[in-house]
A and B are shown apart, each in its own frame.
Chain A
Amino acid sequence: MAYSDKVIDHYNNPRNVGALDKSSADVGTAVVGAPECGDVMKLQIKVEEGKIVDAKFKTFGCGSAIASSSLATEWVKGKSLDEALQIKNMDIVEELALPPVKIHCSVLAEDAIKSAIADYKSKQGAQPQEKTG
Chain B
Amino acid sequence: MKTPIYLDNHATTPVDPRVLEVMLPYFTHKFGNAASRNHAFGWEAEEAVDRARQQVGALVGADAKEIIFTSGATESNNLAILGAAQFLGENGGHIITCRTEHKAVLDPARYLESKGFRVTWLGVDANGSISLEELERAMTPDTLLVSLMAANNEVGTLHPLEEIGKICADKNVLFHTDATQGVGHMNIDVARMNIGLLSMSAHKIYGPKGVGALYVRRRRKPRVKLSPLLHGGGHEWGLRSGTLNVPGIAGFGEAARLISAEGQAETQRILALRERLHQGITERLGHIKLNGHPTLRHPGNLNLSFAYVEGESLLMGMDDVAVSSGSACTSASLEPSYVLRALGVGDDLAHSSIRFGLGRFTTQQEIDHVIQRVTAVVNRLREMSPLYEMAQEGIDLSKVKWQQAH
Contact = CB atoms under 8 A, between A and B. Distances in A.
Nearest to B349: A35
A108 B348 contact: no
Given A35-B348, A60-B309, A63-B313, A40 B387 contact: yes
Contacts of B404: 32-34, 37
Contacts of B329: 38, 62
B385 A58 contact: yes
A31 B330 contact: no
B265 interface: no
B406 A111 contact: yes
A126 interface: no
B403 to A, nearest CB: 5
Contact of A32 (B312, B351, B405): B405
Contacts of A65: 310, 313
Given A1-B330, A36-B346, A101-B332, A19 B313 contact: no
A3 B316 contact: yes
A57 B328 CA distance: 24
Contact of A38 (B308, B327, B384): B327
B336 A31 contact: no
Interface in B297-318: 308-313, 316-317
A61 interface: yes
Interface string B316-331: 1100000000011110
A104 interface: yes
B142 interface: no
A35 B347 contact: yes
A74 interface: no
Contact of B313 (A32, A57, A61): A61
B281 to A, nearest CB: 19
Contacts of B327: 38, 62
Contact of B403 (A32, A36, A59): A32
B328 to A, nearest CB: 7
A120 B334 CA distance: 32
Contacts of A17: 383-384
Contacts, number: 97
- Most-contacted residue by chain A among B347, B403, B404, B405 (CB, 10 A): B405
B405 A11 contact: no
Interface string A1-36: 101000010010010010100000000000111111
A11 B348 contact: no
Contact of B386 (A14, A58, A115): A58
A87 interface: no
The SS class assigned to the A binding surface is mixed
A96 interface: no
Nearest to A18: B384
Given A59-B385, A60-B308, A66-B313, A38 B328 contact: yes
Given A19-B389, A63-B313, A101-B332, A35 B351 contact: yes
A34 B402 CA distance: 5
Contacts of B230: none
A22 B282 CA distance: 33
Nearest to B327: A38
- Most-contacted residue by chain B among A14, A32, A40 (CB, 10 A): A40
Contacts of A59: 384-386
Contacts of B403: 31-34, 111, 115
Given A34-B402, A38-B310, A39-B310, A63 B348 contact: no
A107 B310 contact: no
Contact of B310 (A31, A57, A60, A101): A60
A42 B386 contact: yes
B272 interface: no
A41 interface: yes
A59 B403 CA distance: 14
Given A37-B404, A60-B310, A60-B387, 15 more contacts: A3-B316, A8-B316, A14-B384, A17-B384, A33-B403, A33-B404, A36-B348, A38-B312, A38-B329, A38-B334, A39-B405, A58-B389, A61-B310, A101-B332, A111-B403
Which 5 interchain pairs have the tightest Cβ spacing?
A34-B402, A35-B348, A42-B386, A36-B347, A62-B312
30 contacts: A3-B316, A8-B316, A14-B384, A17-B384, A32-B403, A33-B402, A34-B403, A35-B348, A37-B334, A38-B327, A38-B328, A38-B334, A38-B336, A38-B347, A38-B351, A40-B387, A40-B402, A42-B389, A57-B384, A58-B389, A59-B384, A60-B309, A60-B385, A60-B386, A61-B310, A61-B313, A62-B312, A63-B312, A65-B310, A107-B405
